[in-house]
Amino acid sequence: MTEKSLRVCEKGHRYYKSSDCRSCPTCDRENKPKSGFLSKISSPARNALVHEGIDTLEKLSQYTEKEILNIHGIGPASLPPLRTSLEEAGLAFKE
């Protein structure tokens, strides 16, 4: 098992991580959207999409499911809520 190291984010929050991921859990909770499709997925998945510039359902619909799964931080558990959000907006993943 990898040893966790103490980190401090830009806002001064202290947290322990064993990976090289630099996201602060406290900042992630504070920045979680209250609504929209990004509020329905985990912080790593949300951060990955935002990092790729995918912050609207219209942008999300321009990708295939396979392309989304290839983004680091996105796993199979993220797909069902993304599919549902797209369907509710009358959209779908690219074929």
Q: What is the tens place of the pLDDT at every residue in 16-35?
A: 988 777 788 898 888 888 98
> Where in the chain is CATH 1.10.150.20?
33-95
33-62 per-position pLDDT tens digit: 898 999 999 988 998 999 999 999 999 999
Answer yes or no: pTM beyond 0.75: yes
pLDDT over 70 at 5, yes or no = yes
pLDDT at 53: 97
Neighbours of 68 (CB within 10 A): 20
pLDDT at 6: 93
- In CATH terms, the superfamily for domain 33-95 is 5' to 3' exonuclease, C-terminal subdomain (1.10.150.20)
